[in-house]
A and B are shown apart, each in its own frame.
Chain A
Amino acid sequence: MNKERLLEVRGLKKYFEAGRPALFSRDIRKVHAVDGVDFQLRHSEVIALVGESGCGKSTLALLLMGLEDPTAGTVTFEGRDITHLNDNERKDLRRKIQMIFQDPYESLNPTQTIEEIVNEPLLVHGIAKDKRERDERVKKAMEDSGLKPAEVYLNRFPHELSGGQRQRVVIAAALVLEPEILLADEPVSMLDVSIRAEIINLLAELRITRQIAVIFITHDLGSVGFFADRVAVMYLGRIVEIGTMLEVLEKPQHPYTKALISVIPVPNPRLRRKRIILQGETPNPIDLPTGCRFHPRCPVAISACKINDPSFVSRSNSHQTACLLLVK
């Protein structure tokens, strides 16, 4: 089971209805939030999902969690199709896939103590009937998440903690079920820069100590660089480039990836790279551009880009890019 595919996503799509273009019009406009995503996740692998706001990262996370119903496509977990499950099957699955939300100020119930928050998943899933065993697991999850000693935090309320501590509580509540996959939806974007590194280090550590696979969603390519195994770049609901971290960061193929990487701040002022600033805004996900969806903003677009939608081109076994310029 070791290097097998833990999670496999194929052709996943999610369209949201966005009303009719005119009253009594037949067709309903759709927001193409996620529009055909494929990737695989291996055991204890960290994959970073990068893209700008509105590219469908968070929708993808909700789809993987089963919090939204996909329009098309399949999600397979340990060889089992989990795309459409009933409530009971879904509940079992939630033990194995847990999620960390973006905003630790919003994702904790203000009327519960930290102990209640971390303990709740155990009660819901009926794990560890024995109170002492539950306490033990709660304590271990909290200390693994860097809330040491756990006793100090047990009876506190979320508003008494700092943002970093709150996010650790969120992580502890996810860890207490001992999941196999941790879905982290921009877990550090709401935190101070000084705390971001700590939380990312914590996730990197957990992956080693607990063998958890992590899907790390972020808009900041710089912050994932040093702990992801693979990086997937998303643009307008689709993955445009996927490869190992080194491949993507050192030899980016897609013009969008190149632009993203060029704007990562470099500490050394003499090594300043030429920045590629993209022109224009992300196109409206209701009316997608024809052909390659990146062509209106692409600095190197050719006329064929307006007509043909590119499919993946492999540079190596692990590195794929969807760009017409690479088809030769």
Chain B
Amino acid sequence: MFVLVLNFFLFRVLPGDPARAGVHDPRLKKDSIEAIRVRFGLDKPVINCFETLNPIKLGSCDINPLDTQFFIYLKNLVTGELGISYHTNRPVATVLAERLWNTVLLIGAGQILSITVGAFFGVFAAWKARTAIDYGALATSLVVWSLPTFWLGIILLFWGSANGLPIGGKATPGMSSAPLMQQWGDIARHMILPTVTYTIVYMGEYMLIMRSSLMDVLSEDYILTAKAKGLGVFQILRDHALKNAMLPLVTIIAINLGFTVAGAIQIETVFSWPGLGGAIFEAVNRRDFPVLQGAFLLIAVTVIVANLIADLTYSYLDPRVHTE
């Protein structure tokens, strides 16, 4: 509920007139602008009794509270209606849905890759702790973790264009009439650069967490006990260490999942990937409030769901956590 209210006012306090920013055309006549305002309900006050919050029309307490933008926004939300985009004139839900799938595709691939690669190197580094391999992996992951995402993206973009990889967008124009398999192959090729960027940036973090957590676990007495029981190194890692060491990693993954729906903004902008991050970026530029509201609501829901999944994973990994 708090998120819903905040979502609404956060964008309303932004300077700028959505009716002007949405349609970049200085020749627009005054009554056309007024017509746009009426079309999207922008002629109504944002909320009554709060004069400072109403940049367009001052709200006074005389106005019927049910006839304000805020109330209409709440009413629409309850009925599952996210509004109409000021810019594209399409329902926000439709816009976000197609953008979301693109983001999920990109982030899903990126997350899976970075978790796999990061966790693998983390385990390897912890197993070979305090050797040259460990220090090498440690230094590498610190470096890649601190690389600015957009910078790495641009570097890879140059490298990719020199090697004939598609550097922007999701598909080659005109591919939509090609056979399905060919379309998918084309999308996969377009995904290579953004996914690699994503993987490199997040891999370091996962590696560091996995390494330190596994090293903690490996110094526990029950690992020594397992060794005394006669287990081999591989068995110890698999049966005793990994399950316990996974817990902090799950937390980080859950937090990252929430962030990354929005956090891929940089990658999506650099590679012109038509995802949610790109949509947010464009919507801010155009003061497209309904899209922003919808996107932020989606992010809030993702964070909550990701945390729920993390909690459920805990109870599977750690018997001390019980689902009552």
Contact = CB atoms under 8 A, between A and B. Distances in A.
A109 B230 contact: no
B230 A91 contact: yes
A98 interface: yes
A112 B220 CA distance: 15
B37 interface: no
Nearest to A105: B221
A124 interface: yes
15 contacts: A67-B224, A91-B230, A94-B229, A94-B230, A99-B228, A101-B221, A107-B221, A108-B225, A109-B222, A110-B244, A111-B317, A113-B319, A121-B229, A124-B231, A170-B225
A103 B230 contact: no
Interface residues of B, number: 21
B166 to A, nearest CB: 45
B51 interface: no
A143 interface: no
Contact of A106 (B220, B228, B231, B317): B220
Query: Which of B225, B231, B319: most chain A CB closer than 10 A?
Result: B225
**Range for the number of chain A residues in contact with chain B:** 20 to 34
A86 to B, nearest CB: 12
A107 B225 contact: yes
B60 interface: no
A112 B243 CA distance: 10
Interface in B220-275: 220-222, 224-232, 235, 239-240, 243-244
Contact of A110 (B231, B232, B235, B320): B320
A111 B230 contact: no
A67 B317 contact: no
Interface of A: 65, 67, 87, 90-91, 94-95, 98-99, 101-103, 106-113, 120-121, 124-125, 157, 159, 170, 173, 177
B interface majority secondary structure: helix
Contacts of B318: 110-111
Contacts of A94: 228-230
Nearest to A170: B225
Contacts of A67: 224, 227-228
Interface in B85-99: none
A173 B220 contact: no
A56 B270 CA distance: 61
Nearest to A157: B319
Query: Which of B222, B224, B227: most chain A CB closer than 10 A?
Result: B222
Given A110-B244, A110-B318, A124 B222 contact: no
Contacts of A107: 221-222, 224-225
B226 A111 contact: no
B317 A109 contact: no
Given A107-B224, A108-B222, A110-B320, A125 B244 contact: no
A111 B225 contact: no
B224 A159 contact: no
Contact of A124 (B221, B230, B320): B230
A276 B239 CA distance: 50
Nearest to A173: B229
Nearest to B317: A111
B222 A106 contact: yes
Contact of A109 (B228, B232, B235, B244): B244
Nearest to A92: B230
Contacts of B224: 67, 101, 107
